[in-house]
Amino acid sequence: MIYVTGDLHGEIERFDAKEFKKLKKNDTLIVCGDFGFVWDGSAREEKLLKKLSKKKYNILFVEGCHDNLTRLSHLPAEEWNGGKVHRIADNIFHLIRGNVFNIEGKSFFAFGGTRSASIDLDTMAADWWELELPTQEEMQQGKAALDAAGGTVDFIITHDCAAKLKSLITMDKDSINHLNVYLEDIAGSYKFGRWFFGCHHMDKPVLQNVTAVYQQLHAIM
């Protein structure tokens, strides 16, 4: 089984929730950004990752703005299920943006990233924020991967959402950035079965086949 959830923000308590007990050996949990367990490299964080590494299922995530992209970018990329990942542990993988993965017989296009709404309040170095949004090369890679998949995938997993939808959610056109515009292009240019995104801290189907996820656990197959 494959399950999708939203922003964990490094809260290990989420894994103690009753619904998370559904996950069994060889299942897959996908987190739509803000995984939060790769952040400061502290002893506490290492302890939490060790605890998660003992889970019998795989934990996959795309990046949000509460994932340390500098640390992730320094990890070696490797091939996994048709795309490139950063391996955090034997069962924990960061899905590198712009790749299509084959998981349990289904295709998944992963494209993390967002723009932090509180840059001035964060303590990371200035070059940290440049990694939050995709480069032209990453966006081209994403389209190339979708083209190679025949222009159709079963699922799209992102942290933020397409531009028109973000305008409706935030009621703030100034919050739209080139990632949102890119995702709008993806939505209009390629076919997909269902799209899940996090970032906006709500559990709600926003379109017929597009769902915002946060704390709920969604069984998708």
Cβ atoms of 124 and 207 within 8 Å: the answer is no
Q: What is the pLDDT of residue 171?
A: 82
Q: What is the CATH number of the domain that holds 146?
A: 3.60.21.10
Domain containing 114: what range? 2-219
Number of domains the chain contains: 1
3-state secondary structure of 52: helix
Q: What is the pLDDT along the chain (221 residues), one digit of tens a residue?
A: 999 999 999 999 999 999 999 999 999 999 999 999 999 999 999 999 999 999 999 999 999 988 999 899 999 999 999 999 999 999 999 999 999 999 999 999 999 999 876 554 444 444 445 778 999 999 999 999 999 999 999 999 999 999 999 999 988 777 899 999 999 999 999 999 999 999 999 999 999 999 999 999 999 98
Cβ atoms of 17 and 96 within 8 Å: the answer is no
- Residue 139 vs residues 8, 120, 179: alpha-carbon distances, Å: 26, 26, 9
Instruction: List the beta bridge partners of residue 86.
Output: 77, 94
**Tokens describing residue 140:** 């081209």
Cβ atoms of 131 and 69 within 8 Å: the answer is yes
- Angle formed at CA 5 by CA 54 and CA 14, multiple of 5 degrees: 55
Q: What is the pTM of this model?
A: 0.94
